Amino acid sequence: MSSTKKALKNTAWLFSEKIITLAITFLINIFLARYLAPEQFGQYNFIVSFLALLAPFTSLGLNALVTREIVNGRSQYEVLSSSFLLRVIGGIAGAILAIVAVLIWQSSIELVDPKWLIVAAIVNISSAFYVIEFYFQAEVASKYLVLVRVTTLAISSIAKLVCIYIKADLSFFIWVFFAELAVRGVLYASSYLYYNKRFAEAIKVEHVSWDKPYALSLLKQSKWLVLSGFMSVVYLKIDQLMIGQMVGATELGIYSVAARLSEVWYFFPLALTTSFFPRLLKARNDQVKYNLQLEQLCGILLWMAVVIAIAVSLLGTWLVPLAFGEPYAPATPILTIHIWAGCFIFMRALLSKWLIAEGLLKFSLFTHGIAAIINVVLNYVMIPKFGGEGAAISTLISYASASYFVLWFHPKTQIMAVIMTKSIFMPITYCIRSFK
């Protein structure tokens, strides 16, 4: 099978999963939001956002590096063993720091019981197993990732529906969320063992090894991505934590509905860029072909986001109150603003891969750092005055800054800014070519 056909088949699997995930997640969120009501739904999302802030401790910026190393012919056992152990160490370090921080500032944490934040920090360690994702990406075998994620989603969705049926309190839903993360890690490990037994060789204990020099070299390569990851989750999730602390759980619950409806689409650019990343790496030897593929993929991503943003903006006015109930009606104007941030998030997915391919990891940190600073400052000013709408405006501005505008300020990233600008005119360019 050619690399293009393999990538397309891989993308088909990922898109199938995303469509299933989108539908199931949308329905479950409706039931969950209606059952918990804005205040408790806000508390639930505060915990989810807190855990997201800890994710960089376990990812350590290694995700795409794992894919690159395996694609370039490095032993999968060496790469995965070293990466997994690094992620476990990072997860433990993150848990210790988070627990200490919670204990120090627990008197100012009024939105949720601090014990939930401590449990979240410990559960986050299990995501070290998610390194298996990037092995399957290198193998262009996303079928196994899809099966794991859909199975996990199905189990957690059924568990949430059961909790709603028995009229469980908020704590049950939080435990289901934690269990989902742990179960996914176990299933990833199981799928990896099965895949190797079927297509390569059964994994043996002697295959698992800690290569300290190699692990340190991975960590050295990813140091900018680690910091970039922290900056990224700050500007992606800090808005919800700041809303919760500054204006309360009810406003956070309303904002969370808008944010979830906006962010649920972010799966699509990840699916596309993940499938075509190995192909892009191989095309780098032919600069003309490489740039053309980047332009085409960027154009597809941008206009996919524009179509989604227009549709959601038009339908959101009646969809939000109809689906989630009148208590969440104030989420509509928030959604109308927030959804347009997706245009920059979709292109950012490609930009992130490009920065790795080009070895420009410092710029990933720089762009995320700029966005994080802008987001925190704007949120601090806008949230007290405008609540969720202020946070949505801050999010849109920070995403645009990180994913597009800052690229114009350095010679090495200007080429990507040009590619993104060209993608704006992709429909016009396509029409002109069709008439020739």
Half-sphere exposure of 263 (CA within 13 A, CB side): 15
**Would the CA dihedral through 344, 345, 349, 355 be positive or negative?**
positive
What's this model's pTM, rounded to 2 decimal places? 0.81
Q: Identify whether the C-beta of residue 273 lies closer than 8 Å to the C-beta of residue 349.
A: yes
Q: What is the pLDDT of residue 6?
A: 61
3-class state of residue 167 by DSSP: coil
What is the rounded distance in angstroms from the CA atom of residue 223 to the CA atom of residue 207? Answer: 26
What is the rounded distance in angstroms from the CA atom of residue 63 to the CA atom of residue 222? Answer: 9
Q: What is the pLDDT of residue 33?
A: 92
Q: What is the pLDDT of residue 195?
A: 76
What 3 state SS string does 26-45 have? HHHHHHHHHHHHHHHHHHHH
Rounded to a whole number of angstroms, the CA Rg of the chain reads 21
Residues constituting the chain = 436
Structural domain total, the chain: 1
In angstroms, how far is the first alpha carbon of the chain from the final one?
Answer: 33
- Say which residues have a Cβ less than 8 Å from residue 127's Cβ, sequence separation at least 6: 55, 58, 59, 87, 91, 181, 185
Burial class (CB in 10 A: 0-12, 13-18, 19+), 430: exposed
Q: What is the pLDDT of residue 159?
A: 96
* pLDDT tens track for 7-25: 666 667 767 777 888 888 8
φ/ψ (deg, to 5) at 358:
-90, -5
Closest CA to 182 of 115, 267, 131, 125: 125
Half-sphere exposure of 90 (CA within 13 A, CB side): 27
Domain assignment of residue 151, given as a range? 3-435
Closest CA to 134 of 56, 224, 65, 221: 65
Could you give the C-alpha distances from 223 to 91, 226, 260, 263, 427, in angstroms and in order?
16, 5, 30, 27, 39
- What letter represents residue 421's amino acid? T
What is the rounded distance in angstroms from the CA atom of residue 398 to the CA atom of residue 298? Answer: 20
- What tens-digit pLDDT sequence spans the chain (436 residues)? 555 566 666 667 767 777 888 888 889 989 999 999 999 999 999 999 899 888 888 877 777 777 777 777 667 777 777 788 888 888 899 999 999 999 888 777 778 888 999 999 999 998 888 888 877 777 766 778 888 888 999 999 999 999 999 999 999 999 999 999 999 988 988 888 877 765 555 555 455 666 677 778 777 777 777 787 788 788 778 888 899 888 888 999 999 999 888 888 887 888 788 777 777 777 677 677 777 778 888 888 999 999 999 999 998 888 888 889 899 999 999 999 999 999 999 999 888 888 878 878 778 778 888 888 999 999 999 999 999 999 999 999 998 988 899 899 888 888 889 989 988 887 666 655 555 5
φ/ψ (deg, to 5) at 68:
-60, -45
Could you give the C-alpha distances from 420 to 127, 150, 360, in angstroms and in order?
33, 33, 17
Q: Identify whether the C-beta of residue 272 lies closer than 8 Å to the C-beta of residue 92.
A: no
* pLDDT tens track for 371-428: 889 999 999 999 999 999 999 999 999 989 888 998 998 888 888 899 899 888 876 6
φ/ψ (deg, to 5) at 351:
-55, -45
Residue with tokens 């690094």: 86
Half-sphere exposure of 343 (CA within 13 A, CB side): 19
Could you give the C-alpha distances from 66 to 74, 130, 135, 177, 327, in angstroms and in order?
9, 11, 7, 27, 45
Q: Identify whether the C-beta of residue 297 lies closer than 8 Å to the C-beta of residue 276.
A: yes
Closest CA to 65 of 74, 57, 54: 74
Residue with tokens 């469509």: 19
